[in-house]
Amino acid sequence: MPTKEEIESQIMDLWDEIFDLEDKSKEELEVKYTEWRKVEPRLDEGVDELIIHIEAMTGISDESMFIYREVKEIKIRYKQEMEEIHAKIDALTKEKDRV
């Protein structure tokens, strides 16, 4: 059975993974946003405003829709990975409390 210190170390490693994931997500999204700006000038108005516009499905190019879907997939993937890591942290925290 691991000690509290070992469990705390594992938890800290998982938090490092979360921070790394956040950085990767931001980098990946910035690349996509730069690509998207080339085909969708409304992106300069703000991402949230553009997403509302896209979801209303008015006057959006196929290329813009393709990038929008890629951005959405990136966000979903990172959210799922974050949730998995948080679940591991919660499990380790419970285990640490029992030790």
| Counted domains in the chain | 1
Spacing of C-alpha 35 from chain mean position: 18
Contact in structure between 55 and 65 (CB atoms under 8 Å): no
- Written as one letter, the residue type at 14 is L
Q: Output Rg (C-alpha) for the chain, integer angstroms.
A: 19
Q: What's the pLDDT at 59? A: 67
Q: What's the pLDDT at 92? A: 95
Residue span of the structural domain in which 43 resides: 4-98
Q: How far is Cα 6 from Cα 95, in angstroms, rounded to an integer?
A: 11
- Compare 24 and 36 and report the one with higher pLDDT: 24
Summarize pLDDT for 56-97 with one digit per residue, the tens: 766 677 888 888 889 899 999 999 999 999 999 999 999 988
